[in-house]
Structure 1
């Protein structure tokens, strides 16, 4: 394991069926005005809203609400929330929902007391946050993004056809009750599962040293595969859903990227597709993965060796009487069989993409430098075409 690094994660997690009971205890550590953020109202239909409000009442909180946070939250919605947070002078922001809602809360928390344009300042130019920060917590209802224990916030601009991210600050605490994830439709569940897998692979598929992080990543992937198959058959398998939820957190809380270059090109490609189609994140990642990974295997001997290791240690591929490239490709094909089994989108056409959008998507796709091979723009175009 090479290089120097610092590991620090300040988020407190409460996990399990009784975890929501910790919410009122946590909120007593903050002043009383809370902005409650959530999506389209499903939490009111499934009863989670009432449970959360009971905890807020127990903590003696004054609540202001902002609903309608969309799956790919827009900068316009962020500005709406930031205006409300500042006007109401809220002391705490609580997100109830999936990763998009948590991402949204972070963006609002860092933008409410910033006087300029947060889209230009944060997301396009990555300038340091120097304004007042409003503390954030979350009650998670979907497993996938890992936003409950990291600083990342992904926000979209429909006017610019861009989906960009910025690292603000971690939530102070997160409530993870696996039963709450039962409320998510199966299409969203499997999208979250592939988002988890992709997060792990983006970190795993880089570097050539003997890195402890890679061994942890392999264990997380094996756990995810087992639990995803159980949840796909029975979405209310508590043990499977709890393992998926916990794997999602550890996939992206910076533990397994220590001393790793990391890639993230699949995410850049998938987010470029979503910038034009507004398709579900995990499905756009699945749709571009095959073409990108085949390009890596064709271009980089180091990638061949890592995909061979992935095939053997995670997908159970035998290396007997096969070339390294054959083992690597068999592992990728085995992964794609698993993806089809789950019902993931296997091409960007299924995500709403059309051939005439490819050039614009390529313009919207940043080029990452940490993987085994650095794409040029023509290769980005080709990967997107091969993903149609």
Structure 2
């Protein structure tokens, strides 16, 4: 086990009606708020009205940025930065899923920065003194409610890239499982796949001696396997929604990656290009790619870890590591299929002609991956195998 520092400072307000506590939480950091949200769902469920009432009761001034899209666009980020500057805002409150929260983080980073916010995903600028932000989560998927990461799309260049800094971790996040009752089956399934993908990215390293991190990761995977189908079968299953919501946060707050290298993350790099080309739901793209990636990287060196996952998570009974790994990979695909996730790029609307451009952007800064280093030719092969 490697040496590490660990800090996850986001305050979690978990449970029914916890949104009622946001007033004092906001006022601990600011009094002039940018309220960020997406489409009409937060209004249909009454959450928007509830939040606005709470803000007014605390005499908190606010300006709204609505219409944030899935795979949030840099155009929305730029609009948010402009509003914060024009109205001298000092706090951002995001109500919605991962896209809304990611957009809020990029805005927070962009307000004090003199250049364009797209510089952050492109690695041309570092986040310094961002505005503080809080979240009210309505979808269990990305884990962005408890980390400093964000992913932003740029339609002008058909690209989607990540950014991040510890200073972008939300000051607080409201996690009320009942707010996810209205999430449809597609987004519930994609969210479950997304949570599992985050675990895969951190679980698959070549380091040894991280038993506790691996055991936590395996427990989170088992949680998704148990409660993802339950949430699909009954949308108001509070126990299922609660377990998925907390799994989402724990999967990507740094807990399972402590004392390990950064993880692999090649599959996320490849999926970002699917979303950039065809606006694909992130979890659906990951569900397509991960079993293909697992099979592609399987070799003598990687087989023991893939076999460990197969045995400890899926209950595979096989002495040979390669045999166990293959059975585990099949189990991953079968589970994603059972959730209704697509299993090929063609199903996701990706064409063979799209692949060269996706490869170029996925490998823009060189080879990708930590568990298995992928050159451009490897990325191309995985895309082709996924067609």
Residue 271 of structure 1 and its aligned partner are, at CA, apart by 0.7
> Structure 1 residue 335 and structure 2 residue 332: aligned?
yes
Verify the 8 A CA contact 1:35 1:94 in the aligned structure 2: yes
Residue matched to 1:304: 303
Aligned 8 A contact 1:196 1:251 in 2: yes
Q: How many residues are treated as equivalent by the alignment? A: 381
Query: Equivalent residue for 2:291?
Result: 290
Give 4+ residue runs of structure 1 displaced > 4 Å after superposition.
Answer: 367-370
Q: What residue number does 1:72 align with?
A: 71
- Rounded Cα–Cα distance in structure 2 between residues aligned with 1:209 and 1:52: 46
Aligned position for 1:125: 123
Residue of structure 2 equivalent to 1:152: 149
Please identify, of 227-236 and 307-316, the stretch whose mean Cα deviation from structure 2 is larger: 227-236
SS of residue paired to 2:347: helix
Q: Secondary structure at the match of 1:93?
A: strand
Q: 1:337 & 1:89 partners in 2: Cα distance? A: 51
Counterpart CA distance in 2 for 1:126 and 1:201 is: 28
Alignment of 1:367-382 (within 5 A): 370-382=369-381
- Alpha-carbon deviation of 1:116? 0.9
For residues 25-57 of structure 1, what are the alpha-carbon distances to aligned partners after superposition, in whole Å with 9 as ceiling and x for unaligned? 212313321110000121111111111112212
The answer to which of 375-384 and 50-59 deviates more is: 50-59
1:323 Cα shift? 2.6
Provide the residue aligned with 2:278 in structure 1.
277
**C-alpha separation in 1, matches of 2:47 and 2:126:** 36
Alignment partners' CA distance in 2, 1:30 and 1:151 = 17
Aligned to 1:218: 218
Q: Deviations over 1:198-241 (max 9, x none)?
A: 00010001123120211111111111211112112112111011
Task: Specify the alignment match of 2:249 in structure 1.
Answer: 249
How far is the alpha carbon of 1:368 from its aligned partner?
5.7
Structure 2 CA distance, aligned partners of 1:192 and 1:332? Answer: 19
Give the RMSD, CA atoms, in angstroms.
1.3
Partners of 1:126 and 1:166 within 8 A in 2? no
Describe the superposition over 1:106-135 as per-residue Cα deviations: whole angstroms up to 9, x where unpaired: 100110221112212x111253223x4211
Rounded to whole Å, the distance in 2 between the matches of 1:222 and 1:373 is 25
Residues 339-378 of structure 1 correspond to what in structure 2 (within 5 A)? 339-366=336-363, 370-378=369-377
Deviations 1:234-289 (A, max 9, x none): 12111011000000000000111112221011111111111111111000111111
Matches within 5 A, 1:79-158: 79-120=78-119, 122-130=120-128, 132-158=129-155
Question: How far, CA to CA, are the matches of 1:301 and 1:205 in structure 2?
Answer: 14
Instruction: Report if the CA contact (8 A) 1:302-1:372 is conserved.
Output: no
- C-alpha spacing 1:84/1:372, structure 2 compared with 1 (3 Å): same
Residue 182 of structure 1 deviates from its aligned partner by 1.2
Return the offset for 1:151. Answer: 0.4
Q: Distance in 2 between matches of 1:43 and 1:259?
A: 39
TM-score for the superposition, normalised by structure 1: 0.95
Using the alignment, how far apart are the partners of 1:86 and 1:305 within structure 2?
A: 53
